[in-house]
Structure 1
């Protein structure tokens, strides 16, 4: 009985320590990756603003072949929604919130479930020349307390950024075909 009490007390102390440390761990994160695509800006922008095109280049959309996807609204316009349900990728939605024609698409990401959150994201295109465009994909957000404790052991920039870079390389391949 004494050993069990010591074990339980140790577990409570460990949980308390984690909760205290989490108070001081950074909650905010930001991820940004860019790539140069050898296509005119308007052509690139017209492609990336369409949510349905993400299945052709986004590693997130390709990760789970069993993923259930749905769309609402007029694709490529403010208010358009892309939603998904996945055992591997969780459940969520992307909503186009703002479009600056030929420059940027702002998206609000809604992640549902136990670690639910909302994060702003965007895809921006920039003219480098008549036939070359830079595409930047970025997202920022907040890891809720006490989940932010995991930030000590994993980098959101590395985790998400790696997938962003892979996706942008696939986008380049699709558009430069």
Structure 2
């Protein structure tokens, strides 16, 4: 009997000692992962801010076939939320506490466990880098309960160590998801229409075809600045007129401009000029997507002209109008470019 009592008291001392050790152990934890993604900060912010996209790139989706997502009436911005149920992953919910465009998002996540509710703070940070790249940081922090600390003391890794690989995987999937979305595009030939024309302020140059995008990025801001500085009423979206386009030699002469209401006489030494685009019959083609797909759109327009026995105008140049451009929409898949090819 004495041995049994001794073993009982020894066990009691171990239990009490273990409980004291668990109690005084710091339960605070934090884990975060970062990844540089070749996408605009605004696009990444908008993707993460919308909970309905999470099932497309969330790292836990690969590990659960029975997860059921339930969305609240509001799924983006402050107060947005969603919840999930899963026998393999457990139940839980997420709520956006604060979304600060396009720099950070603060969320609160709740896990329903056999030990009760476990609540932690989730945070996102978006750092704009050069070349439209963004450093995305995904983190979580909180404090473990007594039972949670006891559980993780029996595991081979800490809670933070178990979270980091999942966040790393999630950021990799986010990178793939966003870049695939940016590649989506469509081309539609809208057929024969009439372009109303009008005055436009422009800057002209000649360059290799490969340098057109780079040159336009320098020219258009200069024209826009002139229009604004002189309080000229803008009547349309930016455009580029291709005065000459020689694919054999790989060169082009073109003008980048802004439509305005009235004719403007500029100083003789000014790089910014005013011209008039006549009302004319054209074949219109619309590209929705990245400018990398412009060649496909132009070819579709010319194919329509050939297939329908139409004749190109000998006096007017073809042009592009940037109906939705990067200044209005960060996602290249949402850019809208209208191509107008004058015909007789």
Q: Whose Rg is larger?
A: 2
Where 2:18 maps in the other structure, the secondary structure is helix
In structure 2, runs of 5+ residues without a counterpart are 181-344
Query: May I ask how many residue pairs the two structures share in their alignment?
Result: 177
Contact 1:21 1:149 (8 Å CA) reproduced: no
Could you state the TM-score of these two structures normalised by the residue count of structure 2? Answer: 0.48
TM-superposition CA deviations, 1:87-112 (whole Å, max 9, x none): 12211110011010111111111112
TM-superposition CA deviations, 1:109-149 (whole Å, max 9, x none): 11123242211111221101241011110110111114313
- CA separation of 1:18 and 1:37: change in aligned 2, threshold 3 A: same
Query: Is 2:18 the partner of 1:36?
Result: no
TM-superposition CA deviations, 1:46-92 (whole Å, max 9, x none): 11111111111111244211012101032212111110111122111
Where 1:176 maps in the other structure, the secondary structure is helix
In structure 1, runs of 5+ residues without a counterpart are none
Could you state the TM-score of these two structures normalised by the residue count of structure 1? Answer: 0.88
1:1-177 alignment runs, 5 A limit: 11-113=11-113, 114-152=115-153, 153=155, 154-177=157-180
Q: Deviation at 1:6?
A: 6.6
Give the root-mean-square deviation of aligned CA atoms.
2.1
Structure number with greater CO (CA < 8 Å, separation at least 6) is 1
**Partner Cα distance (1:5, 1:70) in 2:** 55
**Partner Cα distance (2:86, 2:7) in 1:** 37
